Structure 1
Amino acid sequence: MRAAANGRPSVAAQRAAAALHLITPVDDHPGLAARLLLTLAHAEAERGHTDVGLSLLDRAEVLADRADLGTVLQQRGLLLLRAGRIDEAAKLLDAAVPLLREHGEPAVLARTLLNRGVLHLTAGRIRLARADLLACRTLADEHGLRSVAAKVVHNLGSCDLATGDIPAALRAFDTSAAMLGELGAAGVQAAAMVDRARALLGAGLDMAAAEELDHAIGLLRRHRLSRDRGEAELVRAQAALGSGDLVAARLWSGRARRRFTRLGKPAWTALAALLTVRADLADALRDGVSGASRRRLLAVTRRAERLGDALRALGLRNDADVADLLALRARGAAGAAPAGGPRAAAHRPVRPDDPLDARLLRRLTRAELHRTDGQARAALAELRKGLDDLQEHRGKFGSLELQSSVAALGADLGAAGLDLSWSLSPRSSPSLIFNWSEQSRAQAFRIRPVLPPQDPHAAETLAEFRQLRLALREAELAGRAEPAIKARCAELEQRIRREGWTANGTGESRGIVTDREVQRELVRAGHRMVSYLVRRDRLHAIVLDGHTTSIVDLGDYAPVAEAVRRLLSDLDAAADRRVPERLVAVAQASAERQAAFLGRSLIASVLPMSDRRDLVVVPTRQLAVLPWGLLPELHGCPVVVAPSASVWLTARAAATSATGGAPLLVAGPDLIHADAEIDAVADWYPRGRVLRGDAATAGAMLGGMDGAAVVHVAAHGHHDTQNVLFSRLYLADGPLLAYELQRLGTAPGHVVLSACDVGRAVVRAGDELVGFTAALLHAGTASVVASVARVRDALGPTVMAQYHSAIAAGVSPARALASLPIPTPFVCFGAG
C-alpha cells in the first residue's frame, strides 16, 4: 500500500500479487484478500490497465464485508475518474462517503474525500472541490496521513490555479513538493510537476513550463506511470502551442492521444484531440484565406463540433465549450458564419470562475461574430473586456517577469483589435488605432509595483548567488572553466526566479491614456510623438504633433528589423578591444550604412527635417533597442523612448515629483576609465556620494539608489537574453541584478548607466519590455540613459562629464544627450 501511495505502481502490483499467492485459497481470508485485491486493482489501473483493475474490483466486492464495501465503491470511483468517466465516478464516490463515515477507516475516508475533490476540480466545480479537500486535510492532520496531506495541499493549489491565482497555486505546489520529497514519493512528485507547468502556462511562461515538463516526462518514463506520462505529454503540447511551435504541438498531442487510446481513456483521448484541433486551427488561420485554407477550416469545424459533443457526453462541460468556440471560429474564418444554436455557444455568460483561457477565447469568438455581423464597435468592446480580464489577471502577480510574460495570452485579442480598428479606415480613424495600440501594448507598466517582503532565506540565496557569480566571472576572465560553479549558479538562479513567481500583486492598475491626453501634454511640453506598430507584417507610424494624429505606411517590417540587428552587431564589433583596427573601420562603415537606411525608413518620410522639437518615440518589437540618436535625421535632435504613451505620461509625472536625495556615483571593478569618469562627473555634484573599490558593493549601491535624485554608474554589465531579470551590473562583491530593483522603496529620479549594453531589452508579446533599464522604469524611475550597444571605455569620462554639466544646469536628459558633440549609442528612456 505504501508503494502505491508513493507513486510506485509496479512495485505495489508485484507485492500485492505475491501476498495474494501466499493466502491462496482467498476464501479462507476474505477480508485480507479483498484489501489486497483493492491495492492490486489500483496499481494495475495506474500502470494503464484500467479494465484489469475493474475486473479485480469485481472479485474484491464479492469478498468484502459491509465495513469494506465503502472502500470498494471509492476505489471503483477512482478508477472511473482516472478513466475520465466523471459522472459514473461521482455517483460511486457519493455513495462511498456515508458508508466510510459509518464503517470505514479514517485513511480510506480521507482518500475518498481527496478523490471526490479531484473529481469536482476536473468538472470545474471549484467550491465543492475545496470543501472536500479541506475536510480531507482535517482528517489527514488528525491521523498523521502525511502523504494524503501533501496531495491535499497540491490539489488546493490546483483550485487556486483554476480560479487564476497563480502565485497561490505555485506556493501550494512548492509546499506539496517539499512534503512529498520528504516522503520519497518521486513518482507522485513527477506528476505534481505537471500541474506546476500548467501554472506557468497560465502566466505565459511557455519555455519554463516546457523545461519542467521535459524533466517530469523523464521521471514518469522511469517509474512507468503511463497515464501520468500521457497527461504530461498533453500539457507539453500546450506549451508548444503557446510558444507558437505548431509542429511540436501536434507531435506531443498525437503522442498523448495514442497513449490514452491504448490505455482505454476516452476523456483524455478527447482532450488530446482537442489540443490537436487548436493547433490545426492556428495553422489554418496563419495561412490566410484561400480555397485550400477554407477547406481546412471547414474540416477543423467538423472535428471540433464532434469533439464538443463527445466531451459533453463525458461530463467535461468546460472543455466542450472550448470545442464549440473553436468550431465557431473556424466556421467564421471559412466564411460560413453559423446561425441559431451554434452561435449560442459564444453568447453564454462569461463567468468569473471560468478558466482565463476559456474566457479570453469566448471574448475573441464573440468579437469575430460581431465583426461578421458588421458590428465593429461591439466587437471592439468584447476585445477590450478580454484585455481587461487579462489585466485583472496580471494584477495578481507581484513578479515583474510574470506581469510581462502574461501578455502572450492576449496576443490574439490585441491583433484582432488592431486589425478591426484598421478596417474602420486608417485615414478617418487614426485616433481609434492609436488608442487601441495603447490598450494592448506594454500593459505590465500599468501595474503598481510591489515591494517584496524581507525574507532571510531569499537574502541568503541571493548572497550565495552573487558570490558564485563573482567567482565565475573571475574564472571566465582568466580563461578557466568552472562547470560546478556554473551549475550551482543556474540552480540558484532558478530558485530565485521561482521564489519571485509566488509573490502576490496589489491588484492595482493605472489607467490607459487617450490620444487627447497625449496631445495636450505634447502641446504643453512642446514635443511631438511617433508611435510605431506592425500590422500584417507591415510597419506603420502614428504621428501626433500636438494637434493632429496621422498614420504613415513605412513598408515591410522585416528589412527594418534586420537592419537593427546588423547595426547593433556592427556597433558591438566596433567597440570590442579585441577586434583589429582595420575591422573596426569596416564595422563602423557598415553601421553608418545601416543607420542611414533606418533613418530613411523610419524618420525621413514621417517628420519634416525642419521640425527640431523634442521627439517621443514609442517603439515596437526590434525598434525598442534601436540607438535612435545615430540616425542621421535625428543627429542633435532630443529623443526620448518610452514603451507606450501611457508610460511616457507616467514618467513625466514622476519627474515632476521626484525626490532630491543625494546623488550617487558608482565606479565598478575592472573598467579601465571608471574612476576617471566618476571623478569627472563628481565635479558637478558636490553633495554626491561616491562608491568605488571595495565600497562599491551591490548592497551599498541599492541602498544609495533609494530616493537619489541622480545615479551614475560606470561599471561593466551584461544583458541576459535567457533570464532577462538577471541582467546585471558587476560590482565589487558580485552582480546587482535587475531583479533586485524591485526592492527599491523610492526609485531614483534619473539613472545613467554608462558602460556596456544594459540598455537592451527583450521584447515580448504585446511590446512588453524586460531588462535592466525596463526594470528601473517599472520601479518608477523617471528617466534612464543607457546604451543599447557596447561602448568603448575611453568614451566615458569626456562624454559623461559634458552630459552631466548640462544636467546640473537644468537641461532635460534627452536634450543633454542630444547636445553631446558626437553621436553615441546611448538612449534616453522614460520621461526625457
Structure 2
Amino acid sequence: MESPRPRRPFDTTDDPATLVARDPVTARARAEEVLASAPAPDARAHALCTIGICQHEEGDPAAAHRTLRLAAAASGTVGPEAAALARQARLAIRALRGGPGLSGPALDRRPDPAAALLRCGVADAQRGHIPRAVAALDAALERVGPRTPERLLPALLANRGLALVYADRLGEAADDLARALALADARHLGYLRAAVLQNLGCLESRRGDTAEALRLFDEASAGSTRSRRIALRIDGADALLAAGLPEEARLRLESFGGPRAAGPLLGEAAALLVDAKHRLARGDRQAALAQARRVRARFAPDSLWAHLAGTVEWSARCLSASEPSAGVRHRTAARCAVYAPTGAAGAVRPTRDQAAAAALVDAGRHAAALRRLAADRPGHAEAAGHTRPRERAIAAEGARRALAEGRGEDLLAWLEYGRSGRGAAACRDQAWAGLLERLRDAYRRAEEGDDGALLEIGHWSSRLAAAQLHRCRSAPPRGARVLEELRDRLGGRALVSYAVVDGDCAAVVVADGRVDAHVLAPAARVEEECAKFAFDVRMGALRGEEESRGAALSARLLDGMLLGPIAEALGDRPVVVCPAPVAQELPWGRLPALRGREVCVAPSARSWLDAETVAGWAQAAGPAVLACGPRVPGAAAEAARVREILHRAGVATRSLEGPEATVAELRGSLPGARVAHLIGHGGMAPETPMLAALLFDDGPLFAYDAEMLPQAPRLAVLSACWLGMSTPAPSGAPLGMGTALLSRGAGTVVASAVPVRDWEVKGPMADFYTAVTAGTAPARAVADHLAEHGFLCMGAG
C-alpha cells in the first residue's frame, strides 16, 4: 500500500475525475467557490469539468452535458489537452446512456489512452458486449504509466472486475476488485471505494451469497450520492430476487419511491427491469412482459437495457409455456435462468456450474450434477430456505428424472439437497438481535393491552425477516455421504423421505440396506387430507373430545396414501420420517399404521444423522432446566412432578418460575443444559414460522432465539400448544421451533403439533419422564405416553 499524503479539498493539479472519486460533495462545493471568484480560464475549465462529472454522479446527465460543453469551450483557450478531457467525459456519459460514445482508431493519439480505453470498456459493458469490454479494459491496463492519474488504476480494476463477474470469471474478478479496494483506500478515494464495494456486492450476488452482497451494498451507501444509493437499492433488490425473496425485494424498490423515482433513463430503466423481475417472481407474467417491453422500446437494440429487457421477456415466455421453446437446448437450464442481476450485461444465463449441473442432469449423471451445485452457506434457516432458486429448479428436475427412472439413491440425494438440518452457525449479529428485542417488547406491551404495540408487531416482524440475510460465523463442514451413513446407523429402523415430485407425493424408503422409490398419490389430495386431519384433531383437542369421525376417516385415507404403498418395506420397524412440504403439520403418531410405533420426525436424513450423533441426554453433563411461563393452569404442578422424577434419577435441576422465567435467563441457561422442560402458552402462525414462540415473563421466546443459542439442550421438551408444527420454506425445508432447536444441536425435541390441554398432560408427561430416566428411548416413551396427545419425537429417538 502507498503511504497516505495530505490533500487539499480542491487541487487543480489533479484531474477532475480524481477529485470526484475522492469526495463529490466537497469537490463540487470547492469548484463552485472557484467559479464564483472569477478564475483564470484554466481554473474555470477545471472547475466546470469537475461540476459536470458531479452532476452525472448525482443522476442529472442532461445538466452534466451542458456543463461539460461549457468546460470544453473554456478549455479551448487553454490548450487541446484540457478540452479533450472535457469532451471525453461528455462522450463517456453519452455512451452510458446508450449513445455512440467513444470509438475510432485514434485512441493512442488522445492525451490519456488508458482513460479513453477505460471509457470504451465501460461503454461496451453497458451495451452488453462483455468480451469486447474486457478486451478494452485489458488494453487500458497495458497503457497505465507513471503519469496516469491516481484514480484511474483503481477505477480500471473496479470496472474490469465487474466485467469479469458477468463473463463468469469470478476468481479473476475477485482479485481485481480486492486490488481496486486496496488502492482506493491507500489513495483516499472514498467515493470510488463505494463503487468498488458495489461491484464486490454484485460479485457476491453472482456467487449466491446474498447476505454478503447486501452487507456490501449497505456499506457502499454510506459514502454515496443519492443516485448511487438508488442504484445500490436496485442491486440489493435484484440480489433478493435472485435469492427468491420477492417481497423483500419489493420493500427495497419502494424505499426510494419505485421505478419512476430512479432518475432519468439509466436509473429508471434498471429499476423498471428489477420491477419486471419482481412481477415475474410473483407470477404476474403479463405485467412483467409489458414492463420489459416498455424498457426495450426506449433504448437502442444493442444497449444493455434492451438486452436485459429481452431476457425478462424470454424468461416470462419460458415460464408461461408448459415446456421451454424448441430453441432452448436444455430444458433444465432454461428453467433455472429466470433471475439475473442488473449491472453489466451478460448476467442473463446461469453460472457455469449451474449450466454444467443442468447439462449433467439432462445426461442422467445425477451424482456429478450435485457436485457442481453450490453448497449451503451458514445462516438463518428461513433465509437459507429462500435462496438458490436456480439450484432448486435443477434439483427439482433431477428428482423428477430420478423418480421416473426408479433410481432411489439418486432421488434421496436430490431430496437432501437444500433441506435444512444442523450445520447453520449460531447468529451473532447484534443489529439483528436488537430488532428481535424490539419485536419481543412490542409483543409484551400488546399482552399488557397497549393497542399501539399491535401496529409495531407487523413493522418489526417485516424488518426482522428482511434483515436476517446476513452472514453468520462459519459452521463446521458436514458430511456429504448420507446414504452410506444411513446404512451404517439405521440399524433396525426404516427411514422414509417424502417429497412432492412433478405433482405427486413420492417417498424414498431406506431399510435393510435397500433404497426404493415409490410414487404414492397426487400431492393435492395428500395436502387436502392432511389439512382436514390436522384440523379435526386440533378441534377435538380444544373440545376435549376423543377422535371424531372426520378425523378417523382422514387418518385412514392418509394412512392408505402415505403408508399403505410402503407397508411391506416398513414392516413393523421403528420409523424415521422426513415429511414432504404438504405434510409438515401432521401428528404422525395418530395415523393408524404408526400408532404405538417408535416414530422420529426429522427435516432430512442428514438432520437425523446429526441428531443421532448427539442423542443420549443421560450421558451428557449439565443440569436440567425447568421453566414455567405465566398464566398456564397446572404449570407449577407439572414442573414439580418432572423435577421430582429427575431428582430421583440423580439429575440436578434448576427451576425458573415467575419473574425469574425470562427469555434473557433462558438464553443464558439453555446452552449448558442436558434437559430443558419448558412450559408455556405456545403460538405458531404458518406465515411466520420462525416467530413460533413460548410466552415467558418478559415476552415470547421465539424460534429465532433458538438460532442464537451456541448449543441447544440434548433433550428439549416443549409442553405447549402447536410447537411441533412446521411450515415449509420454498426449498421444502421445515421451519419452526423444533427444527430451530435441532439446527443448534439438540438430539431430541418433544413437542405437540396440536393444542395441549394443560391439566390433562401432567400425568402423561410424568410417565414420559419416568420411562426415559429408566432408560427407555425418547421415541418409545413418546409413542407409549404422549403421541395420543399430539406430541412428536423430533430428531433422534
Q: In the superposition, relative to structure 1, how do residues 74 and 528 fare at CA in structure 2: closer, same or farther (>3 Å)?
A: closer
Deviations 1:70-116, CA, capped at 9 Å, x for gaps: 65554454334322344555565556567774555434555444334
Give the structure 2 partner of residue 310 of structure 1: none
Give the structure 2 partner of residue 387 of structure 1: 370
- 1:757 partner amino acid: W
Give, in whole Å, the separation in 2 of the partners of 1:612 and 1:460: 49
Report if the CA contact (8 A) 1:205-1:402 is conserved. Answer: no
Of the three residues 776, 780, 787, the one matched with 2:741 is 776
Give the structure 2 partner of residue 207 of structure 1: 246
Give the structure 2 partner of residue 221 of structure 1: 260
Give the structure 2 partner of residue 350 of structure 1: none
Of the three residues 583, 608, 614, the one matched with 1:623 is 583
Q: In the superposition, relative to structure 1, how do residues 235 and 703 fare at CA in structure 2: closer, same or farther (>3 Å)?
A: same
Of the three residues 209, 225, 236, the one matched with 1:196 is 236
Give the structure 2 partner of residue 341 of structure 1: none
Report if the CA contact (8 A) 2:682-2:694 is conserved. Answer: yes
Of the three residues 538, 543, 563, the one matched with 2:504 is 538
1:285-324 paired onto structure 2 within 5 Å: 287=322, 297-298=325-326, 322=349
Deviations 1:236-288, CA, capped at 9 Å, x for gaps: 555666x5x5543x64355235414422252533343334334433444xx3x
Q: CA deviation at 1:561?
A: 0.7
Give the structure 2 partner of residue 665 of structure 1: 626
Give the structure 1 partner of residue 223 of structure 2: 179
1:427-826 paired onto structure 2 within 5 Å: 432-434=407-409, 436-441=411-416, 443-445=418-420, 448-453=423-428, 459-475=433-449, 480-482=451-453, 485-486=456-457, 489-490=460-461, 492-494=463-465, 496-498=467-469, 501-506=470-475, 508-514=477-483, 518=486, 521-522=489-490, 524=491, 526-543=492-509, 546=512, 553-574=519-540, 588-604=548-564, 606-607=566-567, 613-656=573-616, 659-686=620-647, 687-765=652-730, 767-820=732-785, 823-826=788-791
Give, in whole Å, the separation in 2 of the partners of 1:13 and 1:317: 24
- 1:683 partner amino acid: E
Q: CA deviation at 1:690?
A: 1.0
Report if the CA contact (8 A) 2:726-2:735 is conserved. Answer: yes
Deviations 1:303-350, CA, capped at 9 Å, x for gaps: 999xxxxxxxxxx99769x4xxxxxxxxxxxxxxxxxxxxxxxxxxxx
Matched, 1:400 2:377: no
Q: In the superposition, relative to structure 1, how do residues 503 and 232 fare at CA in structure 2: closer, same or farther (>3 Å)?
A: farther
Report if the CA contact (8 A) 1:220-1:226 is conserved. Answer: no
Q: CA deviation at 1:151?
A: 0.9
Report if the CA contact (8 A) 1:233-1:253 is conserved. Answer: no
Report if the CA contact (8 A) 1:528-1:613 is conserved. Answer: yes
Of the three residues 372, 382, 402, the one matched with 1:421 is 402
Deviations 1:30-69, CA, capped at 9 Å, x for gaps: 67765555555555566x4624xx3xx799x99x996567
Deviations 1:495-543, CA, capped at 9 Å, x for gaps: 7513xx22253461223333x7646645x4x444444344432334455
Q: In the superposition, relative to structure 1, how do residues 72 and 304 fare at CA in structure 2: closer, same or farther (>3 Å)?
A: farther
- Larger mean Cα displacement after TM superposition, 212-221 or 166-175: 212-221
Give, in whole Å, the separation in 1 of the partners of 2:179 and 2:500: 53
Q: In the superposition, relative to structure 1, how do residues 6 and 450 fare at CA in structure 2: closer, same or farther (>3 Å)?
A: farther
Report if the CA contact (8 A) 1:20-1:33 is conserved. Answer: no
Give, in whole Å, the separation in 1 of the partners of 2:792 and 2:258: 48
Give, in whole Å, the separation in 1 of the partners of 2:753 and 2:256: 40
- 1:298 partner amino acid: A
1:140-155 paired onto structure 2 within 5 Å: 140-155=184-199
Give, in whole Å, the separation in 2 of the partners of 1:442 and 1:95: 43
Q: CA deviation at 1:700?
A: 1.7
Q: Counterpart of 1:174 in 2: which secondary structure?
A: helix
Give, in whole Å, the separation in 2 of the partners of 1:604 and 1:95: 69
Deviations 1:797-823, CA, capped at 9 Å, x for gaps: 333233323223322222222223882
Of the three residues 266, 273, 279, the one matched with 2:310 is 273
Matched, 1:263 2:299: yes
Q: In proportion to residue count, which structure has more helix?
A: 1
Q: CA deviation at 1:9?
A: 5.3
Report if the CA contact (8 A) 1:725-1:771 is conserved. Answer: yes
Give, in whole Å, the separation in 1 of the partners of 2:79 and 2:546: 89
Report if the CA contact (8 A) 1:246-1:283 is conserved. Answer: no
- 1:508 partner amino acid: P
- 1:441 partner amino acid: E
Deviations 1:660-682, CA, capped at 9 Å, x for gaps: 42111111123333333322322
Q: Counterpart of 1:725 in 2: which secondary structure?
A: helix
Q: CA deviation at 1:139?
A: 4.6
Report if the CA contact (8 A) 2:125-2:345 is conserved. Answer: no
Give the structure 2 partner of residue 252 of structure 1: 288
Q: How many residues align?
A: 731
Give, in whole Å, the separation in 2 of the partners of 1:111 and 1:648: 50
Give the structure 1 partner of residue 355 of structure 2: 361
Deviations 1:133-186, CA, capped at 9 Å, x for gaps: 445435533443321111112212333444455554343223212333xxxx22
- Larger mean Cα displacement after TM superposition, 631-640 or 100-109: 100-109
Q: CA deviation at 1:626?
A: 0.8
State the percentage of identical aligned residues.
Answer: 25
Report if the CA contact (8 A) 1:254-1:272 is conserved. Answer: no
Give, in whole Å, the separation in 1 of the partners of 2:511 and 2:130: 61
Report if the CA contact (8 A) 1:6-1:188 is conserved. Answer: no
Q: CA deviation at 1:364?
A: 2.0
User: What's the TM-score once normalised by structure 1's chain length?
Assistant: 0.76
Give, in whole Å, the separation in 1 of the partners of 2:571 and 2:164: 65
Report if the CA contact (8 A) 1:194-1:216 is conserved. Answer: no
Unaligned runs of 5+ in 2: 1-19, 25-50, 334-343
Q: In the superposition, relative to structure 1, how do residues 137 and 520 fare at CA in structure 2: closer, same or farther (>3 Å)?
A: closer
Give, in whole Å, the separation in 2 of the partners of 1:752 and 1:401: 23
Q: In the superposition, relative to structure 1, how do residues 609 and 196 fare at CA in structure 2: closer, same or farther (>3 Å)?
A: closer
Q: In the superposition, relative to structure 1, how do residues 38 and 731 fare at CA in structure 2: closer, same or farther (>3 Å)?
A: farther
Q: Counterpart of 1:361 in 2: which secondary structure?
A: helix
Give, in whole Å, the separation in 1 of the partners of 2:639 and 2:210: 44
Give, in whole Å, the separation in 1 of the partners of 2:686 and 2:119: 49
Give, in whole Å, the separation in 1 of the partners of 2:581 and 2:137: 53
Give, in whole Å, the separation in 2 of the partners of 1:714 and 1:434: 41
Q: In the superposition, relative to structure 1, how do residues 113 and 605 fare at CA in structure 2: closer, same or farther (>3 Å)?
A: closer
Q: In the superposition, relative to structure 1, how do residues 796 and 108 fare at CA in structure 2: closer, same or farther (>3 Å)?
A: same
Report if the CA contact (8 A) 2:126-2:345 is conserved. Answer: no
**RMSD of aligned C-alpha atoms?**
4.2
Give, in whole Å, the separation in 1 of the partners of 2:488 and 2:171: 49
Report if the CA contact (8 A) 1:140-1:149 is conserved. Answer: yes
Give, in whole Å, the separation in 2 of the partners of 1:116 and 1:669: 61
Report if the CA contact (8 A) 1:277-1:303 is conserved. Answer: no
Q: In the superposition, relative to structure 1, how do residues 319 and 178 fare at CA in structure 2: closer, same or farther (>3 Å)?
A: closer
Unaligned runs of 5+ in 1: 288-292, 306-315, 323-354, 371-378, 427-431
Give, in whole Å, the separation in 2 of the partners of 1:548 and 1:15: 71
Give, in whole Å, the separation in 2 of the partners of 1:699 and 1:628: 33
Give the structure 1 partner of residue 181 of structure 2: 137
Q: CA deviation at 1:695?
A: 0.8
